[in-house]
């Protein structure tokens, strides 16, 4: 049963992972929620003892043998994370302590793109056709069926790392070989230790296989939603402006604009597809981030991927469009409470991330024209002059993010596009 009126004071939450964003939990703390933090020993900072009621340290946050001894039964009202690479751990903890969360039997489907595709197929969720490839030769029939372009991606991917669009057989062969060679060198927690949780899972080796998928078309949209006791609470639809629309030839994360203007019928089609995808993955008592392709003419929705955590920068976007507290909603959802975030947008916002066009050391960047711009409401720096920077092949490489507000979708997206290009052109790397 949903609980929407419970007092938060005195509730105790276990937070898995923390990367210095107090905004993720500040409102909940102000309302009396106590937080314990589970984190690696080598990541502990003095500030953590000031923020959290208790800090639980382990050698390896992705190793269950380290985690289990520090957990206390009957202490917590909920457990959650803001990070994709910790969602399996959160599910394992919830299962162990009898807390709400994504069922342990289901959670790997959201992290393993092969299992996700299988779950979509089992539940008749429209998505991309795919083939599992351990070498280029595994793709012969698939390429004959679909032609090019195609998408190549790793099985356990985050931050758009190891995702590539290929336009020829030669490019496909080169990309598969490069990905597999690179993945073999990165066989850390994201791969081997994740698998340890699911020794009986029918999952391919994520180091020796990649996915090759058909290239979907249409408008690329995202929908974030909370799931509590099987009930879905939607936030406004967000639309991507893709790199090629910006004239970028290198890989780059898109501009995200919220809300995207759709009719009631279109929204119904989109939300229905999202709902089916969440059911197929067993998502519950969590935030979710769903990527889809939508054809406005046919009303056809095809699912790209689903993550059982909040989307990047989504809290800021929801706050500006709906005056809703997305971060508090996540805390509430973890305890089976109504997230109290409504899908009633009254403003338009766009978010862009700035990357260098080449790898190297950042020698200069001009942001003077956004720092006092009344339409720019938030700037988040990730790199400063003197730091190493890189292209967007890894989403963590961004130099800065900024949020722009507009009176219409076109105004917010257009202003953001202009500012992004101007900042990007000013970057000097040596």
pLDDT in tens, 50-101: 999 999 999 988 888 899 999 999 999 999 999 888 898 999 999 999 999 9
- Distance, first Cα to last Cα, the chain: 58
What is the overall mean pLDDT for the chain? 91
Q: pLDDT-based confidence at 390, cuts 50/70/90?
A: confident
Above 80 in pLDDT, residue 142?
yes
Can you tell me the distance from the alpha carbon of 156 to that of 187, in angstroms, rounded to the nearest whole number? 11
Query: Which two three-digit tokens encode residue 340?
Result: 């109290």
Confidence band of 104 (pLDDT split at 50, 70, 90): confident
Half-sphere exposure for 430 (CA within 13 Å, toward CB)? 5
> Given the structure tokens 């500012």, which residue do they identify?
419
pLDDT band at 206; cut points 50, 70, 90: confident
- pLDDT above 70: percentage of residues in the chain: 93
- Radius of gyration for the alpha carbons in the chain, expressed in angstroms and rounded: 21
- pTM, two decimals, is 0.90
Q: What are phi and psi of 88, to 5 degrees?
A: -65, -40
By residue count, the chain amounts to 430
**In DSSP terms, which residues pair with 295 in a beta bridge?**
300
* CATH node for 12-97: 3.40.50.20
Work out the average pLDDT over 174-183: 94
- The single residue listed with the structure tokens 């995702």 is 163
Query: If one looks up domain 348-430 in CATH, what number appears?
Result: 3.30.470.20
**The predicted structure's pLDDT at residue 187:** 57
Q: Which of 358, 375, 377 is nearest to 427 (CA)?
A: 358
Question: What pLDDT is attached to residue 5?
Answer: 46
Kindly give, in sequence order, each residue whose CB lies less than 8 Å from that of residue 288, ignoring residues fewer than 6 positions away: 224, 225, 226, 227, 278, 306, 307, 308, 309
CA distances from 217 to 68, 70, 128, 294, 303 (A): 45, 47, 10, 8, 11
Distances (CA, A) of 111 to 87, 176, 194, 375: 8, 20, 9, 36
**Residue 1 pLDDT level (bands cut at 50, 70, 90):** very low
Q: Which CATH class is domain 129-214?
A: alpha beta
Residue 333 has pLDDT above 60, yes or no: yes
Residue 95 pLDDT:
93
Residue range(s) of every CATH 3.30.470.20 domain in the chain: 348-430
Mean pLDDT of 137-150: 97
Please, where in the chain does CATH 3.40.50.20 lie? 12-97
Nearest to 294 by CA among 409, 214, 217, 215: 217
Range(s) within the chain of domains with CATH label 3.30.1490.20 = 129-214
Torsion sign across C-alpha atoms 164, 146, 216, 302? negative
CA angle, 123 as apex, 118 and 124 as ends, to 5°?
Answer: 95
Give the integer Cα–Cα distance in Å for 127 and 149. 16
Give residue 192's pLDDT band: very low, low, confident or very high (50, 70, 90): very low
Q: How far apart are CA 173 and CA 184, in angstroms?
A: 17
Query: Which pLDDT value is given to residue 397?
Result: 83
Residue 144 has pLDDT above 80, yes or no: yes
Q: Which of 247, 294, 236, 292 is nearest to 417 (CA)?
A: 247
Query: Within 10 A of 68 (CB to CB), how many other CB atoms are there?
Result: 12
Helices (H), 311-427: 314-322, 326-334, 368-371, 409-426
């Amino acid at each position: 049963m949903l609980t929407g009126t419970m007092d938060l004071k005195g509730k105790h939450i276990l937070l898995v992972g923390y990367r210095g964003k107090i905004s993720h939990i500040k409102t909940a703390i102000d309302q009396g929620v106590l937080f314990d933090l589970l984190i690696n020993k080598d990541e502990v900072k003095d500030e953590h003892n000031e923020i959290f009621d208790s800090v639980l340290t382990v050698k390896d946050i992705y190793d269950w043998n380290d985690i289990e001894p520090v957990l206390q039964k009957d202490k917590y009202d909920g457990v959650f994370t803001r990070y994709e690479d910790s969602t399996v751990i959160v599910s394992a903890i919830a299962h162990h302590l009898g807390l709400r969360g994504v069922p342990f039997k289901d959670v790997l489907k959201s992290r393993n793109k092969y299992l996700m595709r299988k779950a979509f197929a089992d539940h008749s969720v429209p998505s991309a056709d795919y083939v599992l490839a351990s070498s280029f030769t595994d793709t012969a029939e698939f390429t004959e069926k679909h032609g090019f372009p195609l998408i190549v991606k790793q099985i356990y991917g985050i931050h758009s790392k190891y995702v590539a669009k290929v336009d020829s057989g030669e490019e496909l062969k080169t990309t598969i070989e490069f990905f597999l060679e690179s993945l073999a060198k990165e066989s850390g927690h994201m791969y081997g230790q994740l698998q340890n949780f699911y020794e009986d899972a029918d999952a391919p080796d994520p180091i020796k296989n990649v996915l090759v998928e058909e290239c979907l078309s249409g408008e690329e949209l995202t929908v974030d939603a909370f799931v509590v006791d099987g009930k879905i609470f939607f936030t406004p639809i967000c639309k991507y402006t893709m790199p090629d629309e910006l004239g970028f030839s290198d890989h780059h994360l898109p501009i995200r604009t919220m809300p995207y203007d759709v009719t009631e019928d279109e929204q119904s089609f989109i939300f229905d597809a999202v709902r089916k995808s969440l059911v197929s993955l067993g998502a519950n008592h969590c935030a979710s981030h769903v990527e889809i392709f939508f054809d406005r003419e046919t009303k056809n929705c095809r699912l790209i991927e689903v993550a059982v955590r909040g989307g990047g920068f989504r809290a800021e976007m929801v706050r500006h469009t709906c005056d809703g507290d997305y971060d508090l909603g996540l805390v509430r959802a973890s305890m089976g409470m109504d997230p109290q975030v409504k899908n009633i947008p009254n403003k338009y916002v766009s978010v862009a991330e700035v990357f260098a066009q080449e790898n190297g050391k950042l020698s200069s960047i001009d942001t003077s024209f956004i720092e006092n711009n009344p339409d720019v409401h938030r700037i988040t720096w990730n790199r400063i002059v003197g730091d190493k920077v890189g292209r967007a092949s890894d989403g963590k490489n961004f130099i800065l993010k900024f949020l722009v507000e507009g009176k219409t979708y076109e105004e917010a997206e257009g202003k953001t596009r202009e500012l992004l290009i101007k900042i990007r052109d000013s970057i000097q790397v040596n």
